Amino acid sequence: MSRLTLHDLCLSFGALKVTDHVSLAVEPGEIHAIIGPNGAGKTTLIAQLSGQLTPDSGRIELDGSDITHLSPPARVHRGLARSFQITSVLPGFSVLENVALAVQARSGSSFRFFGRVAEEQPLNDAARAVLDATDLGDRLHVLAGALSHGEHRRLELAIALATDPSVLLLDEPLAGIGGAEAERFVEQLRARKGQLTMVLIEHDMDAVFALADRVSVLVYGRIIATGTPDQIRSDPAVRAAYLGQEEAS
Amino acid sequence: MTAPRIHGRVVAALMLFAGFALLPLVAWLADDPFLVVIGARILAYGIAALALDLILGFGAMVSFGHAAYLGFGAYAVAILSRFGITDLGLHMAAAVVVSAGFALITGAISLRTRGVYFIMITLAFGQMVYFFFTSLSAFGGDDGTGLRQRSTLLGSSVLEHDLVFFYVTLAVLMALFWLAHRIVGSRFGRVLTGIRENPTRIEAIGFAPRRYQLTAFVISGCMTAIAGVLLANQAEFVSPAFISWHRSGELIFMVVLGGAGTLSGAIAGAVTMIVLEEWLEVFTEHWKLVFGIILVLMVLYSPRGITGIIERLMRGRS
Amino acid sequence: MTNLLVLQLLNGLQLGVLLFLIAAGLTLVFGIMDVVNLAHGVLYMVGGYLTASFAALTGSFWLGLGLMIPAAALIGLVLEYVVIRRLYERSHLDQVLATFGLVMIANETVKIIWGTAPIGVPMPELLDGSIPLMGPLKYPVYRLAIIAAGLAVAVGLYVMVNHTRLGMLLRAGATHRNIVAALGVPIGRLFAIVFMLGTVMACFAGGIVAPILSVDTGMGESVLILTFVVVVIGGIGSVKGAFFGAILVALVDTVGGVFGPIAMRAVLDPAAAGQAGRTLAPMLVYILMAAILFARPQGLFGARS
């Protein structure tokens, strides 16, 4: 059984079809990249998968059960987490608090009014472990709002990972970072390959072809091709619609 | 680092409480018993401001109808006393139960909306309560009604003594401050504060914001109702004036004046506002004009209230 | 009974157009400038006082009303320039506080200038008297004139919003603010015009109501909250919503106020019915609002929530 299945999703804003009969099956453990030119509807597709938007028609299944009409928090509890293209952290919280809150979401009730959450060692330990793995272990007590852009991107990933997902939706995780920092980031994702299913939206083609098991190409809300990186690279339709354009520019 | 920041605020609150505890001594030395009367009023408003700060400062919910809960508290005293029930604890219990119900229903409706809508809806619900009490002709309608006596404490009428009443009110304030402080530092408080920081992110890590906001809204309403019970006792009088939307605006002003999201700041805001009010009243009957000007200037030039001014001064010095 | 109903419907309609005149400006300021303006009710009061003073000065209600309008426009421009303009980029909380401060300033200033006693404005002779409606029922001409004036402004506003360039910008601004900015429209000037327009309409409402209600310091308070309810019910930014919201709120308020107690008498004994009716009538509007928002959080004609 596929981990995440999209059946014939459609979504329009007025006359504009942003998602046009999209069907896709993401297999357990794979990194499935979705690429496409700007305005192809990648971010709105992620928003439908994570529940911020509801499709007009079609069905989304996670491990075989229908999640199309579940709220975003309910989907997180089923094991579906996301990162945002535009960094979305809690700026007034420390790095540790940001991640500890994500751990808290999956460990016990949060309708507890008296105990000091800052002193809950299990939460802090789990958060530290995730932060160590994302190279933020030495920035625990810095306010998230004061981080550099690259650190922001890693915190964004750390928060999503801390919810302990089985499927991770990554919306342009490398946006705005480059060089050695981007390479390190790619390494961190690669280290989780196989354990975690990922849907990756990314503009950096080097990263996509280095990471992805399979690639789907989205153009004007439709998937025009799905295949291995090699198949996609050599697909004439893809080259015409997208890659060619990229090379020309 | 957040830990020292919170610690500093507790110290600030303890200093405030120590100051309050010494107030009757000052009143005695200055031979001005009226200070204790004003002091009790400040403490009661301090409770209300503290309660509002819990949702406004920590949950980013600008409730413009919080005076309604003062009203539930005040009228709980008047109505129950009329029927021969004079116990302070029962007055508080009744006020809290009614407020919890009202907050639950109106909060659930109001929280379906955001921003401007939320402000206006809470304002409208506040007015609804205002008109409700205005129509109670048995309790004086528009004009309100005097209380024949203050609430009793364990069957005794010790609260008739302003000094005893003052210290009981101070004790309630300190207990509620402690409660609010614990809530803010708890699991629940962290989720609530997270919603203020970034509701989208909170949803994306698996919390349904509205449930937490509504819970905080109810807690805050109940705490404000207790302030209402004390306020009615302090004034020995209840009237719809407790519930007017101006009163709700003043509560917001107190919170912002002291710096929203600091708890102790809200109490300091209540102190500042009432002292300012009493002081301006000495000079001019049109003190509200001065007050309005201060309000506009504060928003335009120091949006973070006194806390902002103090922090700016300290930064300038260091 | 029918006569009473017709009478109350007309009274409701008259209150409705007044609420519309105030709410139209408020909803545009909310929708386009995203500013919560608690001081909007105060403008209605100021319109009343200015009309009263100008009328007393010139000896003519019409001249008074005519002089009040440019004065109102000036007040709107100054207020926008001095305070409101600085609030555009600020949080709603800041806007609430600053305009709450303006309410205090305006109320006290009015008390200092005009005192606390209500001021009467004589009914213009031209519209004095009543006309027979049906059977023995008569209705004051002046109240009919208010309805007519309100409807005329509504039609004028409708034409402006739907058929002029300014109106196009207003409609676009209420829903897609950044697009308007991207069109290269001098947004500051647009905002100033909108605020001035809102001020003039609210002052106009205060001016035309002066002959039937005496002008006093509480008149702004009484309409402000009702106007908020109108804007919320109609949907923020929607002039059409403001119109239907105003009529609906006014009808519920007026008709419910009279027929509530009568209806109560069917189920309760007269004394209890009297109390229940008096209690429920002023709350009806808020219950209506809660019900509408429960079904449609963005209001009847609102685009955004």
Q: Which CATH number does the domain housing residue C231 bear?
A: 1.10.3470
Last residue of a domain, one of A115, A148, A164: A164
Same domain, A151 and A39: no
Same domain, A145 and A99: yes
Split at pLDDT 50, 70, 90, the class of C275 is confident
Per the structure, the count of domains in chain C is 1
With a pLDDT cut of 90, the percent of chain C lying above it is 36
Please indicate whether, in this complex, the C-beta atoms of B128 and C287 are within 8 angstroms of each other.
yes
Regarding chains C and A, contact by 3 or more CB pairs under 8 A is answered as no
CA distance B82 to B90: 13
| Among chain B residues, CA nearest to A140 | B1
Per the structure, the count of domains in chain A is 2
> Which DSSP string corresponds to C12-29?
HHHHHHHHHHHHHHHHHH
**Which CATH number does the domain housing residue A218 bear?**
3.40.50.300
For B:143-182, CB contacts with A below 8 A are 182
What kind and span of H or E run contains C129?
none
User: Which domains are delineated in chain B?
Assistant: 3-317 (1.10.3470)
CA distance B31 to B24: 10
Instruction: Tell me how many degrees the CA angle B172-B176-B179 measures, rounded to the nearest 5.
Output: 145
pLDDT of residue A249 exceeding 60 = no
Distance, in angstroms, between B184 CA and closest chain A CA? Answer: 8
Which chain C residues are within 8 Å of B61, Cβ to Cβ? none
Residues B12-22: what's their mean pLDDT? 92
C56-68 residue pLDDT tens: 999 898 999 999 9
Residues A165-176: what's their mean pLDDT? 91
| Among chain C residues, CA nearest to B113 | C297
B215 interfacial to chain A (CB closer than 8 Å) = yes
The number of C-alpha atoms within 13 Å of B249 and in the hemisphere containing its C-beta is 23
Domain assignment of residue A84, yes or no: no
Beta strands in C136-255 (DSSP E): 138-140
Question: In this predicted model, which residue has the larger pLDDT, B132 or B318?
Answer: B132
User: Which domain, by its residues, includes C78?
Assistant: 12-116+140-295
Residues C169-187: what's their mean pLDDT? 70
What kind and span of H or E run contains C177?
helix C177-182
A79-105 residue pLDDT tens: 999 999 888 999 999 999 999 999 999
Helix (H, G, I), strand (E, B) or coil at B166: helix
Query: Which of A140-154, B88-102, C219-233 ranks highest by mean pLDDT?
Result: B88-102
Same domain, A16 and A45: yes
In the prediction, which pLDDT does B3 show? 46
- Determine which of A78, A103, A113, A130 to mutate to test the interface with B (most B C-beta atoms within 10 Å): A113
Please indicate whether, in this complex, the C-beta atoms of B1 and A141 are within 8 angstroms of each other.
yes
CB nearest A104 (choices: B187, B204, B215): B187
In the prediction, which pLDDT does C305 show? 39
Which chain A residues are within 8 Å of B189, Cβ to Cβ? 113, 117
In the prediction, which pLDDT does B91 show? 96
CA distance A204 to A47: 20
Which chain A residues are within 8 Å of B10, Cβ to Cβ? none
Same domain, A175 and A243: yes
Same domain, A66 and A172: yes
In the prediction, which pLDDT does C279 show? 75
CA distance B191 to B207: 8
CA distance C205 to C233: 20
Smallest CA-to-CA distance from B230 within B176, B279, B190, B172 is with: B172
Distance, in angstroms, between B240 CA and closest chain A CA? Answer: 33
Measured CA distances, C67 to C70, C72, C153, C217 (Å): 6, 9, 18, 21
Domain assignment of residue C82, yes or no: yes
Domain assignment of residue C260, yes or no: yes
Query: Which of B96-105, B270-279, C123-132 ranks highest by mean pLDDT?
Result: B96-105
- Amino acid sitting at position C301: F
Residues B12-19: what's their mean pLDDT? 91
Q: What is the pTM of this model?
A: 0.90
| Among chain B residues, CA nearest to C294 | B109
CA distance C152 to C146: 10
Please indicate whether, in this complex, the C-beta atoms of A90 and B197 are within 8 angstroms of each other.
yes
Instruction: For the beta carbon of residue A78, count every other beta carbon within 10 angstroms.
Output: 15
Smallest CA-to-CA distance from B257 within B266, B248, B249 is with: B266
Span of A152-156, C168-172, C300-304 with lowest mean pLDDT: C300-304
pLDDT of residue A73 exceeding 90 = yes
Contact C177, C31 (CB under 8 A): no
User: Which domain, by its residues, includes A43?
Assistant: 1-79+165-249
- Determine which of B7, B190, B193 to mutate to test the interface with A (most A C-beta atoms within 10 Å): B190
Split at pLDDT 50, 70, 90, the class of B315 is low
Domain assignment of residue C172, yes or no: yes
Same domain, A170 and A65: yes
B75 interfacial to chain C (CB closer than 8 Å) = no
Domain assignment of residue C157, yes or no: yes
In the prediction, which pLDDT does B303 show? 66
In the prediction, which pLDDT does B308 show? 63
pLDDT of residue C303 exceeding 70 = no
pLDDT of residue C174 exceeding 70 = no
Please indicate whether, in this complex, the C-beta atoms of B187 and A97 are within 8 angstroms of each other.
no
